[in-house]
A and B are shown apart, each in its own frame.
Chain A
């Protein structure tokens, strides 16, 4: 049994407002092993994005503890936090919102190389081109503006930028939800491929159980700030135990046939 890469214990978060405040996270615990994907699903307002923000330390929890890569993650401050943060990257739903809109693809990918001093300046261009190659984009894209490329390409660039940091964990918050279905599948395939190559862990947050099922080893189901069910992906889908997991399974629209041979247009 490998030690977990990420261990979240009894994490709570309450937002101000409405008298007593709103409970966003209620004693949430889970663990994530190296090389593993945990899918976090739930309806709007269930707390899954708050949990992702607490794990990435964009938001401080009110209570509980988090261990990441052998350190007390919530105790890290200043320089030490910035140094360790490289190991945990995040990819959001809207890649445009995550980049300086005037940035070129090159600067988006080279920024972390500069900030974390991962390569000497003379190597940035070659490193950026190599990172693009790992997400299957041509080096000719380096000179393009981040707003000039397609949504699927932008999400690949977001992954390339995350990979530049040589992370052990990538937190993906609705990272494929805004993409067309065929592009979605390609990005999911890329995630699986990168995981196999790098031994990356993913915390994959989505409201869409079908997408989660495609890439997650385990699934945690959230409702009203709590994890109400957790288990191997196939088991949660086949025999959901909680009312919320059953509702999520029932809500996915199904294509009843599957006899059509796959052909590219």
Chain B
């Protein structure tokens, strides 16, 4: 199958920096595939997401290749991919009504009139479980909770039916219950739409819950890329082993020795 996105020995160095933020990355994302990119702070995972989205700061130096074989052309933001960030405030305009923000991409890229784009937006908001979508269309971002804002940002990002949704730590600022809801929603959404998902996270368990394959980044480099089950059962990189070994979930042993007297 022709990959949707392909990186070949790709690297990024930020302006004024000597060391690359991302170096020597080769990977291919298939249409409809869910790929998680994991790593700790400073590993380069968010730089990789920004580079794919064409959002690197001016005068960043890039090397190697990044192309979109299944599109046959450079990807258009909004139309071919959508992106959501940790802070939905980074994606939503605080002074525009929700309806306009979600309908805009549909109107621009799907050739719908405003009425049609509005119906499409209301439908998307309903699918993202925003209560009373018609009323929500007329409201502003600050009138919603953090979890609802992130779901609205996702609706806006996928309104033009892109081939890829990039989620950069999109659930990290939310509490665990809202995080679990959004991850379940993303899972269903990408399956229904046949969209590919690039899910950037520091949480290996969350990546494992969602992704078909996991890419592990450490110090700007890709240290392992494997199907999720293989990566969990037999990690090849020491660093992956370290991430698995230090992960704290409910199965991790308590650190306490004994109760106080």
Residues of A within 8 A of B (CB): 2, 33-37, 43-45, 151, 180-182, 184-185, 188-189, 192, 196, 199, 207-211, 213-217, 233-234, 237, 247-265
Contacts and interface: CB of A to CB of B under 8 A. Distances in A.
28 contacts: A2-B261, A36-B259, A36-B260, A37-B256, A43-B175, A43-B176, A43-B178, A181-B243, A182-B40, A182-B242, A192-B256, A208-B176, A209-B176, A210-B248, A210-B250, A210-B252, A214-B255, A215-B255, A248-B176, A251-B180, A252-B250, A253-B203, A253-B206, A253-B249, A262-B241, A262-B242, A263-B238, A265-B218
Contact of A253 (B178, B202, B208, B255): B208
Interface string B203-227: 1111011000000001000000000
A260 B208 CA distance: 15
Given A253-B208, A263-B238, A265-B242, A214 B260 contact: no
B72 interface: no
Contacts of B245: 260-263
Contact of A35 (B176, B243, B249, B260): B260
B246 interface: yes
A196 B180 CA distance: 35
Interface of B: 40-41, 145-147, 174-180, 183, 202-206, 208-209, 218, 232-233, 235, 238-239, 241-252, 254-257, 259-261
B180 A255 contact: no
Which of B147, B177, B233 has the most chain A CB atoms closer than 10 A to its own CB? B177
Contacts of B202: 180-181
Contact of A44 (B41, B174, B243, B250): B174
Contacts of A36: 259-260
B241 A260 contact: yes
A255 B249 contact: yes
B255 A44 contact: no
Contact of A257 (B232, B238, B256): B232
Contacts of B206: 253
B150 to A, nearest CB: 12
A264 to B, nearest CB: 6
A33 B174 CA distance: 31
A138 B203 CA distance: 30
A247 B180 CA distance: 10
B260 A260 contact: no
Contacts of B244: 255, 257, 260
A181 B260 contact: no
B176 A255 contact: no
Closest 6 CB pairs of A and B: A35-B260, A262-B245, A253-B205, A182-B246, A251-B180, A180-B40
B173 to A, nearest CB: 9
B259 A217 contact: yes
Contact of B232 (A182, A233, A256, A263): A256
A259 B240 CA distance: 13
A182 to B, nearest CB: 4
A164 to B, nearest CB: 23
A144 B191 CA distance: 50
A43 B176 CA distance: 7
Contacts of B243: 181-182
Contact of B176 (A2, A33, A251, A260): A251
Contacts of A151: 41
B255 A189 contact: yes
B40 A196 contact: no
Contacts of A251: 176-177, 179-180
Given A43-B177, A180-B202, A249 B250 contact: yes
Given A248-B176, A253-B183, A262-B241, 17 more contacts: A43-B175, A43-B176, A181-B243, A182-B243, A192-B256, A196-B257, A210-B250, A211-B248, A214-B252, A214-B256, A253-B205, A253-B209, A254-B249, A255-B208, A255-B247, A262-B245, A265-B242
Contact of B246 (A43, A181, A210, A254): A181
Which of B146, B147, B206, B260 has the most chain A CB atoms closer than 10 A to its own CB? B260
Contact of B204 (A35, A213, A255): A255
